[in-house]
Chains A and B, each alone.
Chain A
Amino acid sequence: MTQRLPRTVEGFIIAVTLAAAILVVVLAPSIDTDQFPELLLFSMMIALAAMFPIPHARGGYITTAGILQYALIARHEPGAALIVVWFSFTIGSAISRGWVPWKIVSTGARLAISVVLASLVFRLLGGNALDYTVGSLIVPLIVAVLVQQASNNLLVAFYFSQLRRTPLIATWAQDMKDLTFSNLLSVPTAALLVILSSRISPLVLLMYLVALPLQRRVHQLLSQKTRIYAQAIDSLVLAIDANFPQGRGHSRRVADLAVAISREMRLSDSTTDSIELAALIHDVGLIGLDEVGLDTLTDQDMVRLRKHPDIGAAMMRELPNRSVVQIVRHHHERFDGTGYPDGLKGRRIPIGARIVGLAEVFDSLRAGGLSNEPALSSSESIERITAEAGKAFDPRVVEAFLAVWKQGLALEQEVEEGDLNPAQAPGSVTS
């Protein structure tokens, strides 16, 4: 790394590493030498888990090392847990991700500190790995997992707040929200590992050698399929929407904007996924309307045009994700109830439909779209949208949209790449 880190970040890294080192000195003498074989086994498994992170379908990696760490917390003294985690994580990630000493050593130290805290809390709550009841194993383990996660995330959030000036508390809260559920889901597995290794033999940890490749394989398949699926839909949509009045790429642009707004509003990942798919196919009901030159729309064509959300929803009726169908059906509803097909008002319109509705109007304004008006500039389009807050559009969605737009502008200035070319608006749908 050639770039020099900010001074506070350097200080933080040194502080974390030093703190962990001091804990080693203080806690190490209490380790029972009889435990060495089992600790070695734990180290090997954690190192393996760190070496083979599992690619996640939404991007990034998950590691299954958490389960092993929780079992370790329950079965061993804080000092032993500290050394095992620090050592094995450092070895594991050094082997798989290359040797960046300061980064890997301090990351391991950070994990180790949070494991020590969790281990202390487990003991404080009367946790006992040999007494398998809810009160003495499960409850302390759950609290320990929460403590481990909270302290680890806090340190991570602090690190990024210094490095990239992200807000400390907000980042921390978001991470907690994103990760707590999945971490708690691994408690039963960890508790089982604890029980089985006390009951049978610590060698049950070797089951990990079977489970890890299986999990990796299924997750790899899953992310591969997700990617292929997205590609297939994308290219089909691209082929289809070349025939729509707003021109090639309209659906993709609407989808990108809608996803950004949805993220800005902190909607769940699954909602965002539905919004993306729905935005891609929102105009599918327009297929078949291809003969009409748009400057010569007859009344009959207008009726047909107003029916397109309905037709689209009917075409897509069998999609397993019902909310996608709902969004397609309601993307022309307006916040004040003046839209179609059902004249829904306010919050009765699905949130996805409110978002896609705004994104689609914005892109159509810039591209010329269905009306006979010429394409507007970005700033004119934004003015139009803002003026409709509380009327056609949900004020909260408008707010999120403006925030997204500002971020987009900031980003563009950064990369100095202003390709905002609105698509050509063809006079007739078929070119």
Chain B
Amino acid sequence: MTREGHYARTMALVGGVLLVGLSALIVPTILDIRILVFLALAIWASWVRITYEPASRHTLSPVLVFASCLIIRGLAPAFVAAFAALIGALVFARRSWPEALSEMAEETLPALAMVIVFGQIRPTSEQVPVRVVAFLPALCSYFLVRVALAATRARVNLGVRLASFLDAAGWQMLANLGGFGIEAIILAFLASTGGLGYLGPVLIVAALVEFYYPYRLLSEQEHTLLTSLTMIAQAIDAKDPYTAEHSRNVSNIAVRLARAMGLNESEVRKIRVAALMHDIGKIGVRGSIIRKPGKLDPQEGHAMRQHPVISAEIMRPVEFLGEAAEIVRHHHEHIDGSGYPDGLRNGQIPLGSRVVLAADAFDALTTDRPYRKGRSKSEALEVIAAHAGTQFDVAVVEALKAIVHVL
């Protein structure tokens, strides 16, 4: 079983325990109408999901979690966080139960940390300004746990190092959550200074949903773009039924390799796109050549060797794909200069191309072909290692060795 599975299972289990525990603890206070109102508002807020690459996200509901910490005593924040996350994940994001439970754990554990710190400080007055002073350290503990969990998830599931996680997602996530903290203080102020009833909180949530809606669109956009590229790449893979998922697999392997080598996330992104698109040039090559099991005659060979060039030419003029075109053009170059199309050697070959070459080879070796069964992962690794320094970059092969057990 992969580490990915362990992490997901652990978190789902924690989520389940929290669900049962919190439900039991909250029953005596369930008649507190404020908790129910805040929960309802938090569920509404969880409709706006903001995602970050790599693999992190939060919704708007922390605003309500923070505000309930300021206004309501006890476990209320954890309760609001847990059920809003669970319902939001199940209903709005259509996650499966285990996924929703693990999301719930990631939202609830920080809220619990916040409740505990806030309880230790015990503000002496019910006045909001006094509570705000006690609230700030509690908020910091929420941030700490939240980002730590997200970083752990990225590390365990995807092999992202802490520094590049913080660069790519962590700081941005903290900035947004910090903004939520300020908004929660305003909300608590309006809710507690009388006269407004629940109108204040309702207006704030409506305004926030409106304000953050473009962020949600932006997150979706990113996802749609990558999925569409994947679908197009797969459509071209389908010329050969034996390589149906090839582009997607190569992309996953290349991304893992790049992260294991400690490349930063913007480089990883380029490599991801390059690996996805590396074979689009085959659209112009006849299917009979692509599927041919034996040796290609010189003319066929030439057509086949043109595909990295064609792929790169298709990508180059397009803003988003263009930056990956160079990597695609050289993804069949070998370290000793025996590759094509330009016969580059060693450092002349872009690092991304060396990564894609190894990922491409690994996937090709491990999948079935009409004329042979796919090799096992360790056999494939041996084959690749035997060509380290001639075909493959030694550093890339080392990285492959390190991650082969999670592929």
CB of B254 closer than 8 Å to a CB of A = no
B221 touches A229 (CB 8 A): yes
A315 touches B238 (CB 8 A): yes
B227 touches A319 (CB 8 A): yes
Number of contacting residues on B, CB 8 A? Answer: 48
Contacts of B378 in A (CB 8 A): none
Contacts of A277 in B (CB 8 A): 228
B218 touches A222 (CB 8 A): yes
B230 nearest in chain A by CB position: A318
A219 touches B214 (CB 8 A): yes
B196 touches A215 (CB 8 A): no
Known: A211-B211, A318-B227. A240 touches B232 (CB 8 A): yes
How many Å lie between the Cα of A218 and that of B218 in the bound state? 8
Known: A315-B235, A316-B231, A319-B227. A235 touches B222 (CB 8 A): no
CB of A239 closer than 8 Å to a CB of B = yes
B210 touches A186 (CB 8 A): yes
B217 touches A222 (CB 8 A): yes
A287 nearest in chain B by CB position: B235
A226 touches B214 (CB 8 A): no
CB of A291 closer than 8 Å to a CB of B = yes
B172 to chain A, nearest CB (A): 12
Contacts of B239 in A (CB 8 A): 287-288, 290
CB of B124 closer than 8 Å to a CB of A = no
B52 to chain A, nearest CB (A): 13
CB of A430 closer than 8 Å to a CB of B = yes
Number of contacting residues on A, CB 8 A? Answer: 50
Of A36-44, A113-121, A191-199, A342-350, the one with at least 4 CB within 8 A of chain B: A191-199
Of B53-61, B125-133, B197-205, B336-344, the one with at least 4 CB within 8 A of chain A: B197-205
Say which residue of A57, A195, A231 sits within 8 Å of B203 (CB atoms).
Answer: A195
Contacts of A219 in B (CB 8 A): 214
Contacts of A321 in B (CB 8 A): 224
Bitwise interface map of A from 283 to 314 toward B, beta carbon under 8 Å scored 1, else 0: 01001101100000000000000000001100
Contacts of A57 in B (CB 8 A): 217
How many Å lie between the Cα of A315 and that of B287 in the bound state? 17
A31 to chain B, nearest CB (A): 28
How many Å lie between the Cα of A57 and that of B234 in the bound state? 28
Contacts of B288 in A (CB 8 A): 291
CB of B163 closer than 8 Å to a CB of A = no
A315 touches B231 (CB 8 A): yes
How many Å lie between the Cα of A330 and that of B205 in the bound state? 41
Contacts of B317 in A (CB 8 A): 235
A218 nearest in chain B by CB position: B214
A240 touches B236 (CB 8 A): yes
A185 nearest in chain B by CB position: B210
A180-209 CB contacts (< 8 Å) to partner B: 185-186, 188-189, 191-192, 195-196, 199
Contacts of A235 in B (CB 8 A): 314-315, 317-318, 321
Contacts of B221 in A (CB 8 A): 222, 225-226, 229
B210 touches A188 (CB 8 A): yes
B218-258 CB contacts (< 8 Å) to partner A: 218, 220-225, 227-232, 234-236, 238-239
Say which residue of A191, A192, A215, A287 sits within 8 Å of B283 (CB atoms).
Answer: A287
A132 touches B196 (CB 8 A): yes
Contacts of B287 in A (CB 8 A): 288, 290-291
Using a CB–CB cutoff of 8 Å, the interface residues on chain A facing chain B are 57, 132-134, 138, 185-186, 188-189, 191-192, 195-196, 199, 211, 215, 218-219, 221-222, 225-229, 231-233, 235-236, 239-240, 242-243, 277, 281, 284, 287-288, 290-291, 311-312, 315-316, 318-321, 430
A-B CB contact pairs (8 Å), 7 listed: A138-B199, A195-B196, A196-B186, A225-B225, A231-B319, A242-B284, A320-B224
Using a CB–CB cutoff of 8 Å, the interface residues on chain B facing chain A are 186, 190, 193, 195-196, 199-200, 202-204, 206-207, 210-211, 214-215, 217-218, 220-225, 227-232, 234-236, 238-239, 280, 283-284, 286-288, 314-315, 317-321
Further pairs besides A195-B196, A231-B318, A242-B284: 5, Cβ < 8 Å: A188-B203, A195-B200, A240-B235, A320-B223, A320-B227
